Amino acid sequence: MTGKPVAKGVKRAKPRWKSPYAEAEIEEIFRRFAVQRPEPKGELEHVNAFTLLVAVVLSAQATDAGVNKATRALFAVADTPAKMAALGEARIAEYIRTIGLWRAKAKNVALLSEALLRDHNGEVPDTREALVALPGVGRKTANVVLNSAFGQLTMAVDTHLFRLGNRLKFAPGKTPEEVEDKLVRVIPEHYLRHAHHWLILHGRYVCKARKPECPACVIADLCKADEKTTDIPAPLVPIEVLDPVQAEIAADR
């Protein structure tokens, strides 16, 4: 027997995970996403960091298009923490009744508005620690705000990213945090600014949950998903940004 025995009760270090993709393959995948969408943007409508924060909180278990329909009227009367807090939970609820879990979300929006006024001088903080301390704000929501409002290199793992991380074997994990950690490690830093938007949109319109549309995939030749149906990539051309109504129709097809 060779090597030193491991003392009882001492855990072995977990082996470092190795991506099945070569660095050149990852580079090419995100180069193609960048050609498709040079300036990708989230589809939640907002006018400032505060309305973005509220929209993301409301988007849990709801479609972006559904949230947009509700927030257009809400943000027209309350686009700052002060105005939202003055509106109050009951009035907020009237605007968002069409969104799932609207009662709990109305309460959280009212409370987070009050917290911003009380603890942050009415400004949305630019750190994850401060954001996740707000009512109704989790790590994913914080990462979206940090990335979209403050330009930080964060990875917001929603259902699409979690699915793609595992299906494509980019970053397999049992939790969103595991997928996030691996994605941040494998994606080249110069693509991290837009990476989560590219992956969300790819998962929403191409690599769909029920049936991936592999013939429409620009990375079909590089993809290592077990269920892919073609190795021929779709033509690599910039795609037109859809308005919220078109986006909802396309995502449901």
pLDDT at 205 over 60: yes
- Mean pLDDT value of segment 134-144: 95
Task: For 24-34, give one letter per residue: b (16+ CB within 10 A) or e.
Answer: ebbeebbebbb
Say if residue 25 carries a ligand binding annotation.
no
Q: Who has greater pLDDT, 243 or 169? A: 169
pLDDT at 92 over 50: yes
- Mean pLDDT value of segment 150-167: 94
Catalytic residue among 140, 211, 221, 228: 140
pLDDT at 241: 56
Say if residue 207 carries a ligand binding annotation.
yes
Say if residue 214 carries a ligand binding annotation.
yes
CA–CA separation, 104 and 111 (whole Å): 11
pLDDT at 164: 96
Say if residue 91 carries a ligand binding annotation.
no
Instruction: Tell me how crowded residue 79 is: count the other CB atoms within 10 A of its CB.
Output: 17
pLDDT at 202: 96
- Mean pLDDT value of segment 171-197: 94
Active-site residue flag, 158: yes
pLDDT at 76 over 90: yes
Catalytic residue among 8, 11, 79, 158: 158
- Given a contact cutoff of 8 angstroms between Cβ atoms, the answer to whether 183 and 155 are in contact is yes
pLDDT at 246: 47
CA–CA separation, 253 and 245 (whole Å): 13
pLDDT at 19: 86
